[in-house]
């Protein structure tokens, strides 16, 4: 006699510790995962349409408003794409300053996620607040570390949220070496704290969950990627940024206000710390490599739950790289290069903390934006998050609804999703039939 079909429904009406508003719906029928939908209901913000008709010089500041966590990423991708359109290459020392401000954003974003958003999952707390009751010193040091990232962004960007000092060709004002010197002292402390974070997170209990991802990230001939490089994958992709549209597609799904990205004629792919790390381990600084090896990571990590350790390794790198950049800094004679407009299309892609952020702009001869395309990292990871859940849930169906729900939320937080960017919060519905 066959068993009657059974339905089990789990609902979480507010998935916490992610940025933005959305919901996850999981339907389990007769003990199998029938459907997983990451529903993004935060309204789309139509930034691309808003950019049409604006001056090309406005794009870095306008797109920085898309996200309060990673405004530098938006500014950097916009600058590179527009400079590409105008045929201008911006080298050192402006290039070094761009890497330096990006290090600040990586530090603040990664530290926020490691300690305040994701560590509570592994240490068994509902939130950073609950964790702080038992791990006060940890939270205190995390806040100091994050503050350093904020201060680096503020010094170079003019203010911490929606910085205003970045412009095409460079900066409105550049710092003196004396202004950077106090940050160097704090960065040495921060680097030690980041190393301690690698050791701490490496001890967490991780589910056995290695996945066969196609990792996509930038790769640069000499350095761990932030602003520049070719787009590469572990499955043969190796293209210039301007070829992005020929290889990647976005599709609109009825359940989501965010577009979902795929590799054309292939499948979902993974961007972010795991991808960068796997494709660029040899470009990390020796200290960051040694920290990763001590943490038992190996040159490739396929377990998204271990992403917290990779973020800590990248934080070590960001501190190390910032120190190198400050030590070598020679202020430019002028804060920026002129970027005269021309009728053309430009492409830019940089490594936001959550992964590659692609911008494309078409300009007329006066520099008016005719059209714009922006593909944020979370939109590129949405299908991978859904696929992770399809793989993750079946072996855990015997668990209670509460436990399974908690683990699904944790699996989503592995990606530090920024739904505000992708549509620009998350409710979870787990339905068992």
In the complex, the residues that contact another protein under the rule CB under 8 A are 16-19, 65, 68-69, 112-113, 116-117, 127-129, 132-133, 136, 139-140, 143-144, 146-147, 150, 159-162, 425
Min dist. Cβ of residue 160 to another protein (A):
6
| Residue 208, both tokens | 């056995």
| Residue among 129 and 240 whose Cβ is closer to another protein | 129
Min dist. Cβ of residue 433 to another protein (A):
32
Min dist. Cβ of residue 353 to another protein (A):
12
* Cα-based distances in Å from 72 to 76, 143, 222: 6, 20, 22
| Residue among 128 and 259 whose Cβ is closer to another protein | 128
| Residue among 18 and 86 whose Cβ is closer to another protein | 18
| Residue 43, both tokens | 């309204």
| Residue among 132 and 202 whose Cβ is closer to another protein | 132
Cβ(16)–Cβ(428) below 8 Å: no
Residues contacting 49, CB < 8 A, separation 6+: none
Min dist. Cβ of residue 129 to another protein (A):
5
Residues contacting 339, CB < 8 A, separation 6+: 57, 82, 83, 86, 88, 168, 169
| Residue among 187 and 393 whose Cβ is closer to another protein | 187
- What's 118's DSSP letter? I
> ω into residue 93 within 30 of 0, thus cis?
yes
| Residue among 149 and 346 whose Cβ is closer to another protein | 149
**DSSP per-residue letters across 178-240:** HHHHHHHHHHHHHHHHHHHHHHHHHTS----------BEEEE-SSS--SS--EEEETTS-EE-
Min dist. Cβ of residue 5 to another protein (A):
38
| Residue among 70 and 375 whose Cβ is closer to another protein | 70
* Cα-based distances in Å from 343 to 2, 223, 361, 363: 68, 32, 11, 5
Min dist. Cβ of residue 413 to another protein (A):
10
| Residue among 119 and 363 whose Cβ is closer to another protein | 119
Min dist. Cβ of residue 248 to another protein (A):
27
**DSSP per-residue letters across 273-293:** HHHHHHHHGGGS-HHHHHHHH
Apex 249 CA angle, 245 and 255, nearest 5: 150
Q: How far apart are CA 357 and CA 340, in angstroms?
A: 24
Min dist. Cβ of residue 220 to another protein (A):
29
């Amino acid at each position: 006699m066959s068993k009657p079909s059974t339905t089990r429904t789990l609902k979480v009406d507010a998935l916490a510790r992610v940025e933005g508003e959305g919901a996850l719906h999981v339907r389990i029928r007769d003990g199998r995962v029938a459907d997983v939908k990451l529903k993004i209901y935060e309204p789309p913000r139509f930034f691309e349409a808003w950019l049409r008709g604006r001056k090309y010089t406005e794009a870095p500041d306008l797109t920085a408003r898309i996200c309060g966590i990673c405004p530098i990423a938006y500014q950097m991708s916009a600058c590179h794409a527009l400079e590409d359109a105008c045929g201008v290459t911006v080298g050192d020392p402006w290039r070094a300053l761009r890497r330096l401000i990006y290090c600040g954003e990586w530090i603040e974003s990664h530290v926020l996620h490691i300690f305040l958003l994701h560590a509570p999952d592994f240490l068994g707390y509902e939130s950073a607040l609950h964790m702080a009751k038992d791990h006060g010193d940890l939270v205190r040091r995390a806040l100091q570390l994050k503050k350093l990232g904020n201060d680096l962004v503020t010094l170079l960007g003019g203010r911490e949220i929606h910085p205003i000092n970045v412009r095409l060709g460079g900066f409105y004002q550049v710092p003196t070496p004396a202004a950077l010197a106090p940050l160097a002292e704090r960065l040495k402390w921060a680097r030690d704290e980041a190393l301690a974070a690698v050791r701490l997170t490496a001890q967490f209990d991780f589910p056995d969950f290695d996945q066969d991802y196609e990792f996509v990230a930038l790769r640069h001939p000499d350095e761990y990627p932030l602003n520049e490089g070719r787009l590469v994958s572990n499955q043969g992709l190796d293209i210039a940024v301007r070829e992005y549209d020929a290889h990647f597609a976005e599709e609109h799904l009825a359940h989501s206000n965010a577009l979902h990205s795929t590799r054309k004629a292939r499948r979902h792919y993974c961007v972010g710390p795991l991808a960068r790390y796997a494709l660029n381990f040899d470009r990390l600084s020796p200290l960051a490599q040694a920290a990763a090896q001590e943490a038992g990571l190996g040159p490739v990590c396929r377990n998204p739950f271990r992403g917290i350790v990779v973020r800590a390794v990248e934080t070590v790198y960001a501190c190390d790289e910032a120190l190198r950049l400050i030590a070598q800094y020679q202020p430019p004679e002028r804060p920026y290069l002129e970027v005269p407009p021309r009728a053309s299309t430009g492409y830019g892609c940089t490594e936001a903390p959550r992964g590659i952020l692609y911008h494309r702009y078409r300009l007329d001869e006066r520099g008016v934006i005719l059209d714009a395309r922006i593909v944020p990292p979370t939109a590129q990871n949405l299908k991978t998050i859904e696929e992770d859940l399809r793989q993750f849930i079946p072996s855990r169906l015997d668990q209670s609804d509460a436990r399974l729900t908690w683990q699904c939320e944790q699996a989503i937080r592995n990606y530090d999703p920024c739904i505000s960017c992708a549509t620009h919060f998350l409710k979870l519905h787990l339905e068992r039939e």
